[in-house]
């Protein structure tokens, strides 16, 4: 069972790493070229969605961030 958990954990870690790299890539491409895609605005909108939920939204944001870190 520990082998399955480590496999899933490694796969999830790889997927999160790729997503982080793509976000950084989109930010730099948007700085160099005017693409019309706004990843920083998307991140701000996501955080605002959590914060508009009040205290429960803030707790959900903290739980979401704990999974990423």
Query: What are the tens digits of pLDDT across the range 5-49?
Result: 889 888 999 998 998 888 788 777 777 777 777 767 777 777 788
pLDDT at 53: 82
d(CA 51, CA 44): 10
pLDDT band at 69 (very low <50, low <70, confident <90, very high): low
Q: Residue 49: CB partners within 8 Å, gap ≥ 6?
A: 57
Q: Between residues 66 and 9, which one has the greater pLDDT? A: 9
């Amino acid at each position: 069972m520990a082998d399955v958990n480590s496999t899933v954990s490694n796969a999830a870690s790889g997927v999160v790493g790729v997503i982080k790299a793509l976000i950084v890539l989109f930010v730099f491409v948007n700085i160099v070229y005017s693409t019309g895609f706004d990843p920083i605005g998307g991140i701000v909108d996501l955080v605002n969605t959590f914060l508009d939920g009040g205290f429960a939204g803030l707790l959900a944001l903290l739980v979401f961030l704990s999974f990423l870190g």
